[in-house]
Amino acid sequence: MIRIALFLWLACAAQAFAAPVQVKAGEHNGFTRIVVDYGKAVQWQVGRTDDGYELRIEGDQPEYDFTDSFKIIGTSRLVSLWADQPAGAMRMGVACQCHAIPFEFREGIIVIDLRNGPPPKGSSFEDPLPTLPTKAPQPPEPKPLPPKSVGSDYNWQKSAIEKLSNKLAAPALQPLPLENAAASAFDTLRKTLIGQISQGASQGLIQIAPLKLPKSEAAAKLDVEKPPLDPVERPQENPKVAADTEFSALRSGLGELPAISISEGAPEHQNLGAKGESCLEADALDVAAWRGEAPVSDELQRTNQNIIGEFDKIDLEALTTAIQLYLSVGFGAEARQLMQAFPNDLPQRPMWQAMAALVDGEAEPRAFFRGQMGCDSPAALWAILENNQIAKGDFVNRDAAYLAFSNLPLDLRRALGPTLIERFLAIGDEASVTRLRAVILRGPGEASPEMTLMDAAIDMHGKQPAAAEEKLQSMIDDPGPSSGDAVVALIEAKVAQNLPVDQELVNILEAMVQERDNTTQAAATRRALVLAQAASSNFTDAFKGAADQPDLEQIIWRLLSRLGTDDAILTHAVLAEDRTVPNVDTETDLKLVTRLFDLGLPQAARRWVRSEAAIDPLLLAKIDLARADAADALRLLTGQDSPDALALRATALQILGDNAEAAKAFTASGDARSALQATAHAQDWQALREQGSGNWQALAKTATEQRSPSPLQTAPLSYGNDILEQTAATRDAVQALLTQIAPP
């Protein structure tokens, strides 16, 4: 063990830090916890400074990341954190009457608790660390060792010094004034051994046995202290067991530690989750072992007969077997009845009561498994089942929960599976859902209605409402105890596809709302009724029902835009001037704008436009032209060069009186006829004569011909005749053009 520890220490010392070391902190009742994760084994020390404490490690110094340090804590105890690069330490500023209790939670994870009150007597962490030299001195040259003691065949100190003298590249962090190199090397070795033993104890690899000394003498010779754990609710412990394991997690100091023994005992603190939470052991939750191989009816009869023993005394072992059997088959209420009928002080009673509620699908108010979702034991499974508010970002040990769930009996898997899958769907863990689904469905026999509902819920989460609708419709066609739940889920599936709902389903839901009032299913049923009313075109009642369910309003507007009749659109979507436009999704906005414009209500349609960037600019330009807002239409058409956009631009220019530019826009869009009309409105006869044809060209020709009139004095009759001829030609050209153009 010593050789392995030394090897690991030397190997880890050679590794550099590849990434910044995360430093996080959290508030607890009576103390502030600081967690430093180095990612590898380190040799560390904590000592007092003028303004707080410092954490120093040996070897390469990392870059510390304090980004998340103060996100969830105040500054009542810890006021500052910084890296003291010259000293090679992480400094902690403290502003309270408190003391530091550091310990190594796991290899490379150093935890420092700032606890209220004065430090324990003799605490080594209140001593300042020695000042390090600016340059690490070279290892001293080996000197001749003193002769062996008489009568000694082997000197382990000498052997160890010879092996280490060429390997230790730098002195320990806390050098002591020594007389010679042998004493220095021995001191380094002693500190290394003590540090490795402490690390092994914190990891549960070894157990330190206390000295059997009087209390005062033991306190004087040992500097020991139990590392504190997170204040998580734990099951009641047997006082005798607690007394036996009082020193199961000792911290060793750097002084002499006589009478240390190493054993294979597992200390209490090995049952910790990744974040330090207390975890129930796997043996305490081995549900599969609670059920025998005989049929369940035979097992129940046998266990119930043995609970009352001789002299009417309760057989606690038989009672334990019976309770566990009931829980293993999903009989939570029966297990609770047994615990009430046979009073007992079994330490597992609180855990059984929590499990009884969970297997019956009830909420567990005591939250017995709180904080154990990250455990490596089956406690993770029961903690997830217990937490109906699990959210993304919560630390969950998915693998431990999956393994524990896979080991449950098949009927219990099918009973608890829907709830467990619901929890994983809430955090968007599709991979775990897929694994759990396979574990549930791979058993023999047909799937229960609950399993079909669960399968449909998975389809809905995977955005496959059509597949979910097919499964749910089959349940409704073959009525059973779960048909009501199938109706509720079917409404969700239809609404997700924007499909209409039959009035018959609405009538069923109205009756179900009355039946399920004041039950856990009431809220889901009321929601389904409101959605069914909207999907059946009863939008008036749907909007009334959504008054206390604001999250449904967007869905109702979406259904109105797609399924609503023209009358429903006119009734609900034409908003009063003083009404705020409802907050709906962009697609619903576009649908309502289009439908209102098609109904000839451009002003009402324009009110639903909250983001012009989200709607087709050509549609907005049409709406603005219909509102006689040609200037705004031109603004919207800026940069648009499609034929439709150019035609709209030309129309806007005509409204604004710029017929010449309108003619150019019509020409660019390919509408030659409209371009000629715009040119005529602009009275550009020369352009009409050059570009026009037929009657337009004839009219332009007569309008542009200039005759030299005869002076009135010499030929007045000839001059008048010319004027009459020109007027007649213009009249004929206009008459021909009017005949060609169809009336509006």
Q: What is the pLDDT of residue 567?
A: 93
Q: Does the structure show a pLDDT above 80 at 733?
A: no
Q: Does the structure show a pLDDT above 80 at 451?
A: no
Q: What is the pLDDT of residue 731?
A: 64
Q: Give percent of the chain above pLDDT 70.
A: 68
Q: Is residue 410 one of the residues assigned to a domain?
A: no
Distance CA 284, CA 297 (A): 24
Domain at 3, CATH number:
2.60.40.3500
Q: Does the structure show a pLDDT above 80 at 134?
A: no
Query: 720 and 595 in one domain?
Result: no
Q: What is the pLDDT of residues 362-405, one digit of tens each?
A: 876 667 888 888 888 899 999 999 888 887 878 888 889 989 98
Tokens 């309760």 correspond to 314
Q: What is the radius of gyration, based on Cα positions, of the chain?
A: 43
Query: 734 and 614 in one domain?
Result: no
Measured distance between the N- and C-terminal CA atoms of the chain, rounded to whole angstroms: 104
Of the listed ranges 318-332, 553-567, 663-677, the least confidently predicted one is 663-677
Q: Does the structure show a pLDDT above 70 at 24?
A: yes
Q: Does the structure show a pLDDT above 60 at 149?
A: no
Q: What is the pLDDT of residues 611-625, one digit of tens each?
A: 877 788 888 888 888
Average pLDDT of the segment spanning 452-471: 84
What is the chain's mean pLDDT, rounded? Answer: 75
- Residue 740: Cβ within 10 Å count: 10
Q: Is residue 72 one of the residues assigned to a domain?
A: yes
Query: 727 and 648 in one domain?
Result: no
Query: 623 and 715 in one domain?
Result: no
Q: Is residue 215 one of the residues assigned to a domain?
A: yes
* Greater model confidence, 229 or 65: 65
Query: 202 and 95 in one domain?
Result: yes
- Residue 110: Cβ within 10 Å count: 22
* Greater model confidence, 145 or 725: 725
Of the listed ranges 70-79, 256-265, 494-503, 709-718, the least confidently predicted one is 256-265
Q: What is the pLDDT of residue 446?
A: 64
* Domain stops at, among 205, 236, 267: 236
Q: What is the pLDDT of residues 257-271, one digit of tens each?
A: 444 444 444 334 445
Highest mean pLDDT among 195-209, 483-497, 668-682: 483-497
Q: What is the pLDDT of residues 531-571, one digit of tens each?
A: 999 999 999 999 999 888 888 999 999 999 999 999 999 99
| CA–CA–CA angle 120, 125, 126 (5° rounding) | 75
Query: 649 and 595 in one domain?
Result: yes
Q: What element of type H or E holds 84?
A: strand 78-84
Average pLDDT of the segment spanning 462-478: 86
Q: Is residue 311 one of the residues assigned to a domain?
A: no
Of the listed ranges 163-167, 232-236, 294-298, the least confidently predicted one is 232-236
Average pLDDT of the segment spanning 297-312: 74
Domain at 621, CATH number:
1.25.40.10
Distance CA 113, CA 99 (A): 8
Q: What is the pLDDT of residues 93-115, one digit of tens each?
A: 887 888 999 988 888 899 999 98
Paired sense of beta strands 64-65 and 21-28, if any: parallel
Q: Is residue 333 one of the residues assigned to a domain?
A: no
Of the listed ranges 252-266, 342-356, 416-430, 648-662, the least confidently predicted one is 252-266
Q: What is the pLDDT of residue 215?
A: 43
Q: Is residue 370 one of the residues assigned to a domain?
A: no
Distance CA 603, CA 479 (A): 50
Q: What is the pLDDT of residue 690?
A: 55
Paired sense of beta strands 89-94 and 98-106, if any: unpaired
* Domain stops at, among 645, 680, 715: 680
Query: 710 and 610 in one domain?
Result: no
Domain containing 725 equals: 702-740
Q: Does the structure show a pLDDT above 80 at 46?
A: yes
Q: Beta partners for 52?
A: 93
Query: 663 and 715 in one domain?
Result: no
Query: 727 and 647 in one domain?
Result: no
Of the listed ranges 70-84, 380-394, 706-720, the least confidently predicted one is 706-720
The band of 76, judged by pLDDT with boundaries at 50, 70 and 90, is: confident
* Greater model confidence, 743 or 630: 630
Average pLDDT of the segment spanning 727-733: 61
Q: What is the pLDDT of residue 644?
A: 85
- Three-state DSSP string of 410-473: HHHHHHHHHHHHHHHHHCCCHHHHHHHHHHHHCCCCCCCHHHHHHHHHHHHHCCCHHHHHHHHH
The answer to whether 97 and 118 are in contact (CB under 8 A) is: yes
The band of 164, judged by pLDDT with boundaries at 50, 70 and 90, is: low
Tokens 């914190």 correspond to 202
* Greater model confidence, 644 or 532: 532
| CA–CA–CA angle 39, 40, 41 (5° rounding) | 140
Q: What is the pLDDT of residue 569?
A: 92
Q: Does the structure show a pLDDT above 90 at 645?
A: no
The band of 525, judged by pLDDT with boundaries at 50, 70 and 90, is: very high
Query: 23 and 98 in one domain?
Result: yes
Q: Give percent of the chain above pLDDT 90.
A: 15
Q: Does the structure show a pLDDT above 70 at 658?
A: yes
Average pLDDT of the segment spanning 598-619: 87
Average pLDDT of the segment spanning 523-534: 93
Query: 662 and 571 in one domain?
Result: yes
Q: Beta partners for 31?
A: 28, 115
Q: What is the pLDDT of residue 552?
A: 92
- Residue 266: Cβ within 10 Å count: 14
* Domain stops at, among 179, 206, 236: 236
Average pLDDT of the segment spanning 262-284: 57
Query: 226 and 83 in one domain?
Result: yes
Q: Is 311 exposed, middle or buried (0-12, 13-18, 19+ CB in 10 A)?
A: exposed
Of the listed ranges 155-169, 415-429, 485-499, the least confidently predicted one is 155-169
- In the chain, the number of structural domains is 3
The answer to whether 208 and 252 are in contact (CB under 8 A) is: yes
Of the listed ranges 145-154, 464-473, 508-517, 720-729, the least confidently predicted one is 145-154
Q: Is residue 152 one of the residues assigned to a domain?
A: no
Distances in whole angstroms, Cα of residue 100 to Cα of each of 47, 124, 246, 318, 499: 9, 10, 21, 48, 64
Q: Is residue 127 one of the residues assigned to a domain?
A: yes
Of the listed ranges 110-124, 213-227, 296-310, 461-475, the least confidently predicted one is 213-227
